[in-house]
């Protein structure tokens, strides 16, 4: 049936983290419940919504570039900026580009369909801006369609109470609010009944998850993940990110006990230097972090351990950077995401600490860490040579239509030749024959 002339086509471009990708799924579900359609082609869309990130400077730069791109087109769609950048910059976005018609913060997505209709009808002027944060969870009753036929994400909480000095999240997403275990299980069941095999639980600090029901019954994250391991039907459950300052042994016991909770843990280090950690307001020392990694490995000897590290934080000396490299080496991470510090508006670091490290110094320190970690990642991967691992097929490899791409239970990417008897969602044994620092390559058994 052909679309009616009144149908409004909306295309969403997503930038940033997994939580933004999840929010896009939520927004698509909200829009589908109305009489607006999601466009597959931005060239045919009446509206382009940019779901934005404010954590990294390059994400904001990408959005600004995309706005300029559409401003230069002969057929100009209406533009909306939503998400964290919208919350962070607010009405200033309207002043910067006359083509932006809508600015919506991450807690106001339910308004999007009615605002688009109102702007289209002219009942309100273009330039609506709604960025207020809410005190509670706004989307618990929404069941978004899976973002992938095999693996999907579920946001279990929003916001953060930690106020690390470099981080803008408490200002863009507000304080911590945890969803009820029942609503999370309902969404997990909705996904697994549609064929999803892997669920990734998202929170700015999942360790802080705490829900209290009307009877005063409290549920911690360790209890939540046990509840989901027992009842969700998911073959694999992952979670990200926990904070090193409050990592409970009980959570490690849950990973140890339930085979469908993946032994993959992301522990954001950020820096190995105690003075820098203190300036970052991270609430642990380098030694305490190392002791945590040792405790993790005592419970989970084969754990896949990853981290985030920032170089070039205000006041960081060569000695501080060297200490971070030393700690990364000693912690023996399987994977590290390394970033150069970029000052973010509204954070305490931006107000109180001058961004005093030259960009070329930041980049040199990052590159040294990348080189070190690649060598370590390669060494870890070589341990899998000639070993057989269980791989969850996610889809066709981006490099070749002749290969499958999938993940081990630890999170390694594995590439292997397609087999006509298998399909995405199948878990198959693969013997590893070749590795590099990023990927394992093998043959199905």
- Is domain 138-262 in CATH 3.30.750.210, yes or no? yes
- Residue 33: what pLDDT? 67
Give the domain ranges of the chain.
Answer: 8-130, 138-262, 388-444
- Report strand pairing: 236-240 vs 210-212: unpaired
Residue 317 and residue 147: Cα distance in Å, rounded?
Answer: 42
Three-class DSSP category at 73: coil
How would residue 235 be classed by pLDDT, with cut points 50, 70 and 90?
Answer: very high
Using the predicted structure, report yes or no on whether residue 5 has a pLDDT greater than 80: no
Using the predicted structure, report yes or no on whether residue 56 has a pLDDT greater than 80: no
Residue 314 and residue 349: Cα distance in Å, rounded?
Answer: 8
- Could you read off the pLDDT of 128-142 as tens digits, one per residue? 899 999 888 889 899
- Residue 254: what pLDDT? 98
Number of neighbouring beta carbons within 10 Å of residue 29: 16
- Residue 3: what pLDDT? 47
How would residue 146 be classed by pLDDT, with cut points 50, 70 and 90?
Answer: confident
How would residue 187 be classed by pLDDT, with cut points 50, 70 and 90?
Answer: very high
- Could you read off the pLDDT of 273-300 as tens digits, one per residue? 999 999 999 999 999 999 999 999 999 9
How would residue 416 be classed by pLDDT, with cut points 50, 70 and 90?
Answer: very high
95: CB partners within 8 A, 6+ apart: none
Using the predicted structure, report yes or no on whether residue 179 has a pLDDT greater than 80: yes
Q: In Å, how far from its chain's centre is CA 158?
A: 12
pTM beyond cutoff 0.75: yes
Residue 339 and residue 201: Cα distance in Å, rounded?
Answer: 24
Burial 96-111 (b: 16+ CB within 10 A, else e): eeebbbbbbbbbbbeb
How would residue 147 be classed by pLDDT, with cut points 50, 70 and 90?
Answer: low
How would residue 97 be classed by pLDDT, with cut points 50, 70 and 90?
Answer: low
Cα separation values, 75 from 44, 70, 72, 307, 351, Å: 9, 8, 9, 44, 42
Using the predicted structure, report yes or no on whether residue 38 has a pLDDT greater than 80: yes
Using the predicted structure, report yes or no on whether residue 1 has a pLDDT greater than 50: no
Query: Residues of the chain with pLDDT > 90: what percent?
Result: 82
Of 103, 110, 90, 100, nearest in space to 23 by CA: 110
- Report strand pairing: 304-311 vs 264-266: parallel
Output the DSSP codes for 331-348: HT-SEEEEEE----TTSH
Lowest model confidence (mean pLDDT) among 14-18, 369-373, 411-415 = 14-18
- Is domain 8-130 in CATH 3.40.50.300, yes or no? no
Give the helix/strand (H/E) hosting 35.
none
Give the helix/strand (H/E) hosting 136.
none
Average pLDDT of the chain to the nearest whole number: 93
Cα separation values, 391 from 380, 396, 419, Å: 17, 13, 13
Q: Cβ(79)–Cβ(50) under 8 Å?
A: yes
Structure tokens at 64: 């600004």
Q: Cβ(199)–Cβ(227) under 8 Å?
A: no
Using the predicted structure, report yes or no on whether residue 98 has a pLDDT greater than 60: yes
Using the predicted structure, report yes or no on whether residue 212 has a pLDDT greater than 70: yes
How would residue 96 be classed by pLDDT, with cut points 50, 70 and 90?
Answer: low
- Could you read off the pLDDT of 239-249 as tens digits, one per residue? 999 999 989 99
User: Span 368-382, mean pLDDT?
Assistant: 98
The arrangement of strands across the sheet holding 8-14 comes to 36-38, 8-14, 47-52, 78-83, 100-104, 128-130
Three-class DSSP category at 23: helix
- Is domain 388-444 in CATH 2.40.50.140, yes or no? yes
- Residue 2: what pLDDT? 42
Query: Residues of the chain with pLDDT > 70: what percent?
Result: 97
Output the DSSP codes for 252-295: HHHHHH-TTB-SEEE---B-S-HHHHHHHT----HHHHHHHHHH
Q: In Å, how far from its chain's centre is CA 366?
A: 21
8-130 against 388-444: fold identical: no
């Amino acid at each position: 049936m052909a679309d009616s002339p009144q149908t409004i086509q909306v295309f969403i471009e997503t930038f940033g983290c997994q939580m933004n990708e999840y929010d896009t799924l939520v927004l698509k579900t909200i829009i589908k419940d109305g009489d607006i359609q999601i466009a597959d082609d931005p060239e045919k869309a009446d509206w382009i919504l940019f779901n934005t990130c404010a954590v990294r400077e390059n994400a904001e730069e990408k959005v600004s570039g995309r706005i300029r791109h559409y401003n230069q087109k002969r057929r100009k769609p209406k533009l909306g900026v939503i998400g964290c950048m919208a919350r962070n910059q607010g009405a200033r976005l309207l002043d910067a580009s006359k083509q932006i018609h809508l600015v919506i913060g991450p807690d106001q997505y339910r308004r999007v369909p009615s605002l688009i209709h109102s702007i289209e009808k002219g009942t309100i002027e273009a330039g609506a801006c709604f960025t207020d944060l809410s005190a509670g969870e706004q989307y618990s009753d929404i069941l978004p369609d899976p973002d992938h036929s095999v693996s999907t994400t579920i946001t279990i909480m929003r916001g953060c109470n930690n106020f690390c000095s470099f981080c803008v999240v408490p200002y863009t997403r507000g304080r911590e609010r945890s969803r009820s275990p029942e609503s999370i299980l309902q969404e997990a069941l909705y996904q697994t009944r549609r064929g999803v095999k892997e669920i990734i639980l998202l929170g700015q600090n999942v360790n802080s998850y705490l829900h209290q029901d009307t009877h005063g019954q409290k549920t911690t994250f360790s209890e939540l993940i046990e509840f989901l391991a027992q009842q969700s039907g998911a073959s694999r459950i992952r979670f990200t990110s926990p904070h090193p300052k409050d990592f409970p042994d009980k959570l490690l016991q849950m990973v140890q006990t339930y085979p469908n909770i993946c032994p993959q843990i992301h522990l954001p280090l950020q820096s190995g230097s105690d003075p820098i950690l203190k300036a970052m307001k991270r609430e642990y020392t380098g030694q305490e972090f190392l002791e945590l990694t040792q405790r993790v490995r005592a419970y989970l000897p084969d754990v896949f351990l990853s981290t985030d590290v920032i170089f070039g934080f205000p006041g960081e000396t060569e000695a501080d950077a060297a200490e971070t490299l030393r700690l990364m080496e000693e912690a023996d991470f399987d994977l590290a995401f390394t970033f150069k510090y970029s000052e973010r508006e509204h954070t305490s670091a931006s107000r109180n600490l001058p961004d005093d490290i030259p960009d070329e110094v930041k980049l040199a320190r990052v590159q040294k860490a990348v080189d070190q970690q690649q060598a370590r990642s390669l060494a870890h991967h070589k341990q899998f040579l000639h070993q057989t691992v269980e791989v969850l097929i996610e889809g066709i490899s981006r490099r070749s239509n002749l290969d499958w791409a999938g993940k081990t239970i630890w999170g390694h990417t594995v590439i292997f030749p397609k087999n006509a008897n298998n399909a995405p969602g199948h878990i198959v044994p693969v013997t590893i024959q070749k590795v590099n620092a990023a990927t394992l390559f093998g043959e199905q058994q």
